[in-house]
Amino acid sequence: MKKIIAFLIILSSFYISPAQKNEAFEEYKSMFIENLWKLYPEWATNSGYYKYNHILTIPNEAFRQNQLDFSKAGLAKLELIDFNKLSLSDKTDYYLMRDFMQSIPWQVNTQKEYEWNPSNYNVSGDFSYILYTEYAPLIDRLNTINEKLKSVPAYFEEAKKNIKNPTLEHTKLAIDQNKNSIDVFDEEILKAVEKSSLREDEKNDLYENCKKAKTAILSYVSFLEKLHNPTPRSYRLGNELYAQKFLNNIQSEYSADQIYKMALERKKYLHEQMYATTRTLWKDYFTNIAIPNDTLLANKMMIDTLSVQHVKAEDFQSSIEKHIPLLVDFINKKQLIYLDPSKPLEVRKEPAYMAGVAGASISSPGPYDKNGKTFYNVGSLEGWSDAEKESYLREYNNYILQILDIHEAIPGHYTQGIYANQSPSLIKSILGNGTMIEGWAVYSELMMIENGYGNNTPEMWLMYYKWNLRSTCNTILDIGVHTQNMSKEDAISLLTKQAFQQEAEANGKWNRVQLSSVQLCSYFTGFKEIIDLREAYKKMKGSKYSLKEFNEKFLSYGSVPVKYIKELMLNEK
């Protein structure tokens, strides 16, 4: 208990500066959030703000104009705020809102994803959220769903009007995803309605509206299937759009070009480290074979040999459950960062409504539900062929599975989320920066291993290098594909030969890089920025430097771009 109190005091001393709250800025922030939720009701829903759950945004010209108006008016009012009078925490809020509003005109007028990405149009996630999140009695949620359903036909009519010269890849994705979403409307909602105590006429109304929604979705699917699109747009974003999107989304002090060079350097470093490690291990694992001169081949042979140490498919989730307390003990023993014991993490089988892709993810409580539970969702391997299971389990072998738990859970995403929710700023919780979030998770892997997690064995280090190659090569791949015409062949070779990934993993990544851009850079960029910041902070603090203090202080700013945290951490008085 004492520990908790001490911790709260430390945290609040970062935020509540002796100067009182800035009234004008507090007012600005409330207005900003209220207008934001009116403009983007689906985003509000997903953030746990339920006032506009019944509204489905029609993606028409008026909506685009509303976004531009929001940006213009918001920026004009923000200029009236005296930046220099703001507290440190308010300054980062200011930056986040400013950067967000500044990126809107570019998105609407230049990037125009609403024209070329048909997969933008899919409503099933919003309906599933309301159906499965128990924020209100089922009856109320079903009434909300009924209200929202009425707009689905108009929504898809506008979607059809927006589509111009889309990419083939996003068209196919939209067809697949919308087809898969039909279950929500002709099964899942209906089941809930049946079980509910709604009146008969209300039930019939819902059945009717579900039917209309389903018809609208199928009509959009058939529109896409029949679309005459002789010269489809390339999935490659191209240099100009890429550079700007990188600036807007990654929000790094480094440009895409700089990050690309840094990732190439990191890859080279990792390969060298791997070979040195492989050499020290070689005799323990290969008695009759000399180490090959081809360093990549030698690394691959050693990785393949270590990868056969993996858990059984049926033990996948339980071994994750067993790791969590070990991670907590290690961190406490080594004093790496304070972990709040009152906010436990619950490991669970991935709920059915989530993608159904194997793997792991974290569901953190949203900004309006700070005391909510955090879930570690573990995908199940049920229904996989033996070969698929084996390949997956080798990828997530005994070493990598521990690093995955560090990344997703402790002290990665879960821990970062807890700290972020303690930050008193709603703005930071809402406009959280993905680069900082992923960067922290990737940084925490190295931080744990370099402090002796895994007993400093060469095996653990080798696997760590392999894992770190993944985020490094994600960046090289993304920038290569979108700005340098990297071919599929070169991409697969980068992932399998240089990053030692399984064929299936590499093919999955190739599909992803065609459908998304820039996001794959967030892992390495955030990692690199945090490592650089830690170096600078160490220098500044000299003999007073403590890793624990760095970690806690870094996280206390919330999910803010690292460049702004750097500005605040290095300029502290």
Q: Write out the residues near Zn ion by the rule CB under 5 A.
A: 438, 441
The residues near 134 (Cβ < 8 Å, ≥ 6 apart) are: none
Nearer to Zn ion, 107 or 317 (CB): 317
Nearer to Zn ion, 390 or 532 (CB): 390
Nearer to Zn ion, 57 or 474 (CB): 474
Q: In the beta sheet, which residues pair with residue 346?
A: 375
- The letter for the amino acid at 478 is D
Question: Can you list the alpha helix ranges (DSSP code H) found in 396-521?
Answer: 398-408, 413-422, 426-430, 434-450, 458-483, 488-493, 503-515
Query: In the numeric block, which tokens belong to residue 377?
Result: 């969702």
Q: Is 289 left (phi over 0), alpha (psi -120 to 50) or beta?
A: beta
**Inter-CA distances, 147 with 34, 48, 126, 285, Å:** 21, 19, 13, 64
Nearer to Zn ion, 405 or 438 (CB): 438
Annotate 455-469 with DSSP letters as a single string: TT-HHHHHHHHHHHH
- Rounded to a whole number of angstroms, the minimum distance from the CB of residue 441 to Zn ion is 4
Nearest to residue 175, comparing CAs of 184, 187, 166, 186?
166
- Rounded to a whole number of angstroms, the minimum distance from the CB of residue 201 to Zn ion is 47
- Rounded to a whole number of angstroms, the minimum distance from the CB of residue 433 to Zn ion is 13
- Rounded to a whole number of angstroms, the minimum distance from the CB of residue 362 to Zn ion is 8
Q: In the beta sheet, which residues pair with residue 167?
A: 233
Nearer to Zn ion, 408 or 552 (CB): 408
- Rounded to a whole number of angstroms, the minimum distance from the CB of residue 313 to Zn ion is 10
Nearer to Zn ion, 126 or 438 (CB): 438
Nearer to Zn ion, 90 or 438 (CB): 438
d(CA 366, CA 476): 32
- Rounded to a whole number of angstroms, the minimum distance from the CB of residue 394 to Zn ion is 6
Nearer to Zn ion, 32 or 392 (CB): 392
Number of H helices, E strands in the chain: 28, 3
- Rounded to a whole number of angstroms, the minimum distance from the CB of residue 528 to Zn ion is 15
Query: In the numeric block, which tokens belong to residue 242?
Result: 């890429």
Contact status, residue 310 vs residue 400, Cβ threshold 8 Å = no
Nearer to Zn ion, 149 or 513 (CB): 513
Q: Is 112 left (phi over 0), alpha (psi -120 to 50) or beta?
A: left
Contact status, residue 515 vs residue 270, Cβ threshold 8 Å = no
- Rounded to a whole number of angstroms, the minimum distance from the CB of residue 310 to Zn ion is 6
Q: In the beta sheet, which residues pair with residue 377?
A: 348, 361
For the packed helices 23-39 and 88-105, what is the interaxial angle rounded to 10 degrees? 40
d(CA 57, CA 70): 15
- Rounded to a whole number of angstroms, the minimum distance from the CB of residue 499 to Zn ion is 17
- Of all helices (H) and strands (E), which one includes residue 93? helix 88-105
- Rounded to a whole number of angstroms, the minimum distance from the CB of residue 435 to Zn ion is 11
Give the max Cα distance, the chain.
78
Nearer to Zn ion, 438 or 459 (CB): 438
- Give the 3-state secondary structure of residue 145: helix
- Rounded to a whole number of angstroms, the minimum distance from the CB of residue 393 to Zn ion is 6
Nearer to Zn ion, 193 or 327 (CB): 327
